[in-house]
A and B are shown apart, each in its own frame.
Chain A
Amino acid sequence: MESSLAFSLKLSLKVASVATLLVMLFGTGIAYVLAKKNFPGKEVMDILLTLPLVMPPTVTGYYLIVIFGRNGYIGKIIYDMTGFSLMFTWYAAVLASFVVALPLMIKTTRAAIESVDEKLINASYTLGRSEFETALKVIFPLAGKGIIAGVVLSFARALGEFGATLMLAGNMPGRTDTMPIAIWSLAGGGDWPGANRMVLMLTFMSVIFLYVANRYSRRII
């Protein structure tokens, strides 16, 4: 029992960390594009990327199965080519957490980027900095608070992801049972002491995480 607790704990941290890393990479990029560029279909893109925030995770999970399942639109191509299916692997848990957490990152980062003083950005341009350099050295540092808030929210959301993860990664003990899934499975099986241990663990971790995040963001910025 203890080893399965340790496993779920490690898996949850691994999944949430990788998902958050991907969210940071893609999220800041997408947020920058949405904040600074105008192109046809921008609103559609914004709505599509925000949908997972509004829809129940089971619906998100359903769409992901339709796309990435072994017989899904993309999943089938991958499976036919490589014999690999995302379903019931920890990568699937990462994908689910990524998709569900991404809108939080985009929303907060976009707002932060939009609130950066336009004069400073123009000053950077007049001083001969390229757009990439301006983004990296002016916009992102000034929007740092918002970006960090987005990262914190994304990690928290990824750590707690359950619905889409269950649909995509399933309940494979010792493989894909992240803490939320293990808790749900333990409670469903009537193992309340086991569930208690894990619930306390997850609560404790969340409190520590929020405390550190608060301290850190105050000190850095």
Chain B
Amino acid sequence: MGFVRPVRIKSCTIILTISLLLALCFMQVKGVEAFHYDELSISAAMSLKMPFEEIEKLFEEHHPDVDVLLNFNSSGKLRQQIEAGAPVDIFASASVKEMRRLLDKRMIAVGTMRILAGNEIVVIVPGDSGFDPGSFSDLKDESIKRIVIGNPDTTPVGMYSKEVLQSTGVWDAVKDRIVFAEHARQVLDYVARGEVDAGLAYSTDAMLGRRDVKVVIKKAPRGSHREIKYPIGVVKGVNNREAADAFIAAVFSKEGRDILRKYGFRIFER
């Protein structure tokens, strides 16, 4: 008996502690649910992260009863999630192509799609790099061993970048040196860390990373890629259409457009 008792007390304590912890977890979850919030779930292209986080704050000031949940990823991944039935209210994509696929599947509410902004493709290099290409064909240079672009199959930035490299005739020469990034911000990250010699990024992302990267080509040649347009739309069957419409209105409000402009997005005047 004398040998067994301490062990029993020990295991009892452990079991009790674990159950207490579990109970605490569930109590907390319940506590949160007790407050009533309308949730508005927004899936947005990675490149929209900074402006949308600001617009979220702006929106929540005016709509304190709505809790905005932002989910950023590559537009291709987000589109796949929505197709698979993810509970998303608003989709903001970095390419018309991904939006079109949802429109074709009738998953976007009729008449809600609008273009919110435009962007450009630039070439960036690490801040301490001496590489200064005059044009895209200089990317063929031997000293450029690694070039990062977005994955053309899942990220719009990659799709545009591949179009640029193909139409400027450098794709075949550099394709063995290309590393795929999984979303627009990862392109910036690879270059900022100096892991690659150059990258093709959105001008807005390059602007965010200006402390660590240099923009060496400020704009892809006109017509070398599809025009970069960001469509936004309400996903069909949303829980809270009113809040969704209000958020889109906030994006297109003067303050919303100023925020987008501040982060370098091109705003189309109507």
* Cβ–Cβ contact A173 & B153, under 8 A: no
* Cβ–Cβ contact B154 & A172, under 8 A: no
* Cβ–Cβ contact B195 & A185, under 8 A: no
* Cβ–Cβ contact B153 & A188, under 8 A: yes
| Chain B residues whose CB sits within 8 angstroms of the CB of A85 once the complex forms | 195
Taken together as a complex, chains A and B put the C-alpha atoms of A147 and B182 apart, in Å, by 39
* Cβ–Cβ contact B193 & A170, under 8 A: no
Partner of B179 from A69, A170, A188, A191 at Cβ < 8 Å: A170
Partner of B151 from A65, A69, A87, A185 at Cβ < 8 Å: A185
How many interface residues does chain A have, given as a range? 10 to 19
Taken together as a complex, chains A and B put the C-alpha atoms of A72 and B151 apart, in Å, by 25
| Chain B residues whose CB sits within 8 angstroms of the CB of A69 once the complex forms | 193, 195
Taken together as a complex, chains A and B put the C-alpha atoms of A120 and B177 apart, in Å, by 56
* Cβ–Cβ contact A88 & B195, under 8 A: yes
In the complex formed, the residue of B with least CB distance to A85 is B195
Known: A70-B195, A71-B194, A88-B179. A188 touches B146 (CB 8 A): no
| Chain A residues whose CB sits within 8 angstroms of the CB of B153 once the complex forms | 185, 188-191
In the complex formed, the residue of B with least CB distance to A170 is B179
Taken together as a complex, chains A and B put the C-alpha atoms of A65 and B154 apart, in Å, by 25
B152 to chain A, nearest CB (A): 8
Indicate with 1 or 0, residue by residue over B149-176, a CB within 8 angstroms of chain A CB atoms. 0010110000000000000000000001
Taken together as a complex, chains A and B put the C-alpha atoms of A136 and B190 apart, in Å, by 46
| Chain A residues whose CB sits within 8 angstroms of the CB of B193 once the complex forms | 65, 69-71
Interface SS of chain A: loop
Taken together as a complex, chains A and B put the C-alpha atoms of A189 and B150 apart, in Å, by 12
| Chain B residues whose CB sits within 8 angstroms of the CB of A191 once the complex forms | 153
| Cβ-based interface call for A29 (8 A) | no
| Cβ-based interface call for B231 (8 A) | no
| Cβ-based interface call for A141 (8 A) | no
Taken together as a complex, chains A and B put the C-alpha atoms of A188 and B75 apart, in Å, by 11
| Chain B residues whose CB sits within 8 angstroms of the CB of A65 once the complex forms | 193
B78 to chain A, nearest CB (A): 12
Q: Which of B175-217 contact A (CB under 8 A)?
A: 176, 178-180, 182, 190, 193-196
In the complex formed, the residue of A with least CB distance to B190 is A170
* Cβ–Cβ contact B196 & A88, under 8 A: yes
Q: Which residues of A come within 8 Å of B, CB atoms?
A: 65, 69-71, 85, 87-88, 170-175, 185, 188-191
Give 3 closest A-B pairs by Cβ, nearest first: A189-B153, A171-B180, A170-B179
**Chain A to chain B contacts (Cβ below 8 Å), 19 pairs:** A70-B194, A70-B195, A87-B195, A88-B195, A88-B196, A170-B179, A171-B151, A171-B180, A171-B182, A185-B151, A185-B180, A188-B77, A188-B80, A188-B154, A188-B182, A189-B76, A189-B154, A190-B80, A191-B153
